[in-house]
Structure 1
């Protein structure tokens, strides 16, 4: 394209020379000469403009030329800001993630037949199995359990629990648990009705027993409790239910802000970690996890073709077909990616600006000129043609 643009400019120069020599004999060649003359001016002007973007024309230090090399740091900063404002803003990322079906993609992957992707799966599986088998089981298990216990001891779980509970309440995710608790209360009431009646009978005095009022009192208590559970399950605005929700909200706040509550939770955590049963549970969990990892890594196709494979494929089918699960997983993925963009977006932007700043002027010039490509030379060609047409128009007006 450079050869074509330069060749067109040379052609206009040759045409100008020929028409200038022949114009006295053929006056109509004045229009052709005017076209060639103006085309040379347009072509040279656009050559100068295109060249001035990337370097000094003819190597001359003309002011306001070599614009991109001189301003590469500012361009890098502007590009980084453009990326941050148009790609790494949490709102932009969230809007983009709404159109990405992470759960559906995971479901399709889980349903992929075991034979597909065998080389990648086999290589990764051998590496994982060799690493886990080469490490000392007792020491590795002790390290894992110690790391988990140390991490839990250093972590203040009370604010996390409070924040999780508050988030669940704010998003109404506590409602299913509350309704499940109400249903459990109803079942417990039905299962323990004889016990309640026996307690009422034992606590009633002899006058009530003589008049047979203890049975009526037991009936009233059982019916009242049963009515209470039914009303709580059907009426979201039931006073008792509202009181429970207020208590949960207060607990979430206390877990985050009240020192006494936080201290009690930390004490309970330490007691659980010091309990031998918890240590034995961690031992069993580690052994089962290690054996499962090695078994699956040694023969991933057989594992995926067996019960685990059925479970994985079933899980994949559920991910694709269940709208509630897909919505929940996609929402989680969206929040995770948005959180990553909010946390690490500035680092990515800084990487872009610092990378461009570290390039030398020649690298910036070459890469940008290559990125724009043929269009730069089309600017020169178009300038030559448009300049020629303008020259013909001016010559026509001058002649008239």
Structure 2
């Protein structure tokens, strides 16, 4: 474009010289000469204006030239301010996000057959795997464990446990757990039969032991306990079983409403989190999860072809077809992005400003000229042609 604009200017100069020589013989060439003369003036003026944006014309330190290199810091600050005021504002981001259906796009992507979107999926999977492998495992694992422990410490678990237990009781989902407890009680009784007999023998007086009545007493106690466990397991209306169910219901209520019970559970939770074995268990979970995520990311087609793929495709169908879920996901995404704009907009603005400040004058000149230089050369071409037309009009008026 520079060659075209400069070539047009040279052509106008050649026409001007030719018409200046031939005008005495051909008077009508005065109109052409006026056009070419004014076109040279317009082309030179616009060349000066365009060049003055990026550098000193002909290397001369003319005032108010090389505008961009001299003002690059101010341009960076102004651009950053423009981004912050017009783009990185939470209401603006939220308004733009209202027209973006992220949930629908995610649903269509998850449902895409293996031949569609494979390049994007493989690229994203490779990026995820590289990120997980490139991050400092020890530091990242520490961050994950700290985040998990912090979230669990902040959350009050007793109401959640109480609500889950109450729901299980209301829907009779506690019955298998209760029956398992009764069976465990029966097994414990059989496993500790010698201990029970020894306790009865030690507490019986010498007369009972002399008459061997302590053995009969122990047999009666063991038979009675076994009978109770059998009746509890077969009779849903057994009094002991009903009392156990009532105890579970009371526990569910206390976990939700009793301050002492809730405080006791929170204390147990904190003691458990402080235990080193729990930390090792969380670390093991992290290592297994990290390895599984890397393996899945390295082979996304296998993941999409298995049971997990069926689940993901089902999720995609739900995201695309269920208006309520799609609206909820889009609302969450909108709030998340708006929150990021509000929280990190200032950092992004500083990044733009500091990056431009860090560029030298030659770098910013080259980048801006590369971005908009083609259009600026059109200004030179238009200036040449428009200048010529204005000169022609003025010559016509002067002649008339």
- TM-score band, normalised by shorter chain: 0.5 to 0.7
* Pairing 1:28–2:25 present: no
Deviations 1:339-389 (A, max 9, x none): 111111111110111111111111111111111132212111111111111
1:270 to 267, 272, 290: 267
Distance in 2 between the 1:393 and 1:17 partners? Answer: 20
CA distance in 1, matches of 2:131, 2:17: 76
**DSSP-derived class of the 2:394 partner:** helix
1:286 Cα deviation from its structure 2 partner: 7.7
Corresponding residue of 2:332: 332
Q: TM-score, normalised by structure 2?
A: 0.61
Aligned to 2:215: none
Where does residue 91 of structure 1 map in the other structure? 91
Paired residues of 1:39 and 1:391 also in contact (CA < 8 A): yes
**Residue in 2 aligned with 1:231?**
none
Distance 2:61 2:28 in 1: 42
Quote how far apart the aligned CAs of 1:391 are: 1.2
Q: CA deviation at 1:265?
A: 7.4
Q: Work out the CA distance in 1 between the residues paired with 2:303 and 2:10.
A: 73
Q: Which residue of 1 aligns with 2:62?
A: 62
1:15-164 equivalences under 5 Å are: 15-113=15-113, 116=118, 117=121, 121=125, 147=146, 151=150
Q: How does 1:344-363 map to 2 (within 5 A)?
A: 344-363=344-363
Does 2:365 correspond to 1:368? no
Q: How many residues in Structure 1 have an aligned counterpart in Structure 2?
A: 298
| CA-CA distance at 1:291 after TM superposition | 5.7
CA deviation string 1:125-170 (max 9, x = no partner): 79979x9xx99xxxx99x79974685358x6558xx9xxxxxxxxx
SS in 2 for 1:107: helix
| Higher-Rg member (1/2) | 2
Distance 1:282 1:305, change over 3 A: farther
Q: Distance in 1 between matches of 2:109 and 2:325?
A: 16
The secondary structure found in structure 2 opposite 1:374 is helix
Q: Specify whether residues 397 and 321 from structure 1 end up closer, same or farther in structure 2 by C-alpha distance, changes over 3 A only.
A: same
Q: Contact 2:145/2:282 (CA < 8 Å) preserved in 1?
A: no
- How far is the alpha carbon of 1:25 from its aligned partner? 2.3
- For residues 157-176 of structure 1, what are the structure 2 equivalents within 5 Å? none
Q: Secondary structure at the match of 2:392?
A: helix
Task: Show CA shifts across 1:33-84 (max 9, x none).
Answer: 1111111111111111111111111111111111111111111111111111
- Relative to structure 1, the CA distance from residue 78 to residue 288 in structure 2 (aligned partners, 3 Å threshold; closer, same or farther) is closer
| TM superposition shift of 1:110 | 3.2
CA 310–288 in structure 1, closer or farther in 2 if over 3 Å, else same: farther
Unmatched runs of 5 consecutive residues or more in structure 2: 158-162, 172-256
**Contact 1:126 1:298 (C-alpha < 8 Å) held by counterparts:** no
Q: Do 1:149 and 1:273's aligned partners in 2 also have CA atoms closer than 8 Å?
A: no
1:22 and 1:357 mapped to 2: Cα distance?
56
Taking the aligned partners of 1:34 and 1:125, their CA distance within structure 2 comes to: 69
For each residue in 1:3-25, what CA deviation from the matched residue of structure 2 results, as whole angstroms up to 9, or x when unmatched? 22112212222222222222222
Provide the rounded CA distance (Å) in 1 between the counterparts of 2:292 and 2:311: 16
Structure 1: how far apart are the matches of 2:370 and 2:50?
Answer: 13
> What is the CA–CA distance in structure 2 between the aligned matches of 1:126 and 1:357, rounded to whole Å?
32
Provide closer, same or farther for how the CA distance between residues 317 and 31 of structure 1 changes in structure 2, counting only shifts above 3 A. same
Measured in 2, the distance between the counterparts of 1:6 and 1:123 equals: 47
Q: Which residue in the other structure is 1:381 paired with?
A: 381
Task: Point out the more displaced range, 21-30 or 335-344.
Answer: 21-30
CA contact (8 A) 2:145 2:279 kept: no
Cα distance 1:393–1:56, how it changes in 2: closer, same or farther (>3 A)?
same
Distance 2:130 2:3 in 1: 56
CA–CA separation in structure 2 for the residues paired with 1:394 and 1:126: 69
How far apart are the structure 2 equivalents of 1:267 and 1:64? Answer: 76
Whole-Å separation in 1 of the counterparts to 2:75 and 2:377: 23
Say whether 1:320 aligns with 2:320.
Answer: yes
Q: Work out whether residues 80 and 350 of structure 1, in 8 Å CA contact, stay in contact via their aligned partners in 2.
A: yes
